[in-house]
Amino acid sequence: MLLCAIRPFASHPRVREIVVTLPKAALSAPPEWLSDLVGGNLSLVAGGDSRGASVQNGFTALSAACNGILVHDAARPFPRRETVDTLIDRVSAGECAIAAVPVSDTLKRAGGPDARIVETVERTGLWRALTPQGFPRRALEEAYTAAGPAAVAAATDESALVEQAGWRVALVADATTNIKVTTPEDFLIAEALATR
């Protein structure tokens, strides 16, 4: 999955650096295929105790020459090249933008121990935030400074931190095939997508 997630960035002519964050144990003995990629524009760093802290560690490892940053999760092995292109264009123009897809399901809010529906949520204007997410370097710097370690650790994506720091974030329509692989069922879908 990690290799699939890296490929669209590693092969992109406008991507100058790639930092992969790994658990500390994996960093000392990464898989051979990943070790073979290290050097050139790809480096490995230790992740943190949370997703947000890991992304911040990766951000810190980038050279100061990186003025635009794309954040991507290895749990999404199928980022589209077109989405990466659009995000790079937006970030190069000084904008923040994230991959997203409109919500198509009816949403319910539930409460109580028996998970009874308390509200049907209007889905008009709602989108699912995905990765990659793109930001000018200054936006992430300001977001990390303003948020502090606890908020960074609790963040489920960088765009929330950037929004809280006062930056506007645009949505870039992506494909529903940019799935997040988190359950056994997701793995079955990912296998089908990988072999199509």
Handedness of CA 165, 58, 94, 91 (dihedral sign): negative
User: Is 53 domain-assigned?
Assistant: no
pLDDT at 34 over 90: no
Count of structural domains within the chain: 1
Asked, for residue 30, whether it belongs to a domain, the answer is no
**Helix (H), strand (E) counts: the chain:** 8, 8
Would the pLDDT of 29 be above 80? yes
- Percent over 90 (pLDDT), the chain: 82
Residue 144 has pLDDT above 90, yes or no: yes
Assigned domain for 175 exists: yes
| 145: CATH | 3.90.550.10
Residue 170 within a domain: yes
Q: Which whole number is the average pLDDT over 49-65?
A: 95
Domain extent for 104: 2-10+67-194
Domain membership of residue 185 (yes or no) is: yes
Span 161-182, pLDDT tens digits: 999 999 999 999 999 999 999 9
Model pTM score: 0.92
Q: Are 48 and 56 in contact (CB under 8 A)?
A: yes
Asked whether residue 6 is assigned to any structural domain, the reply reads: yes
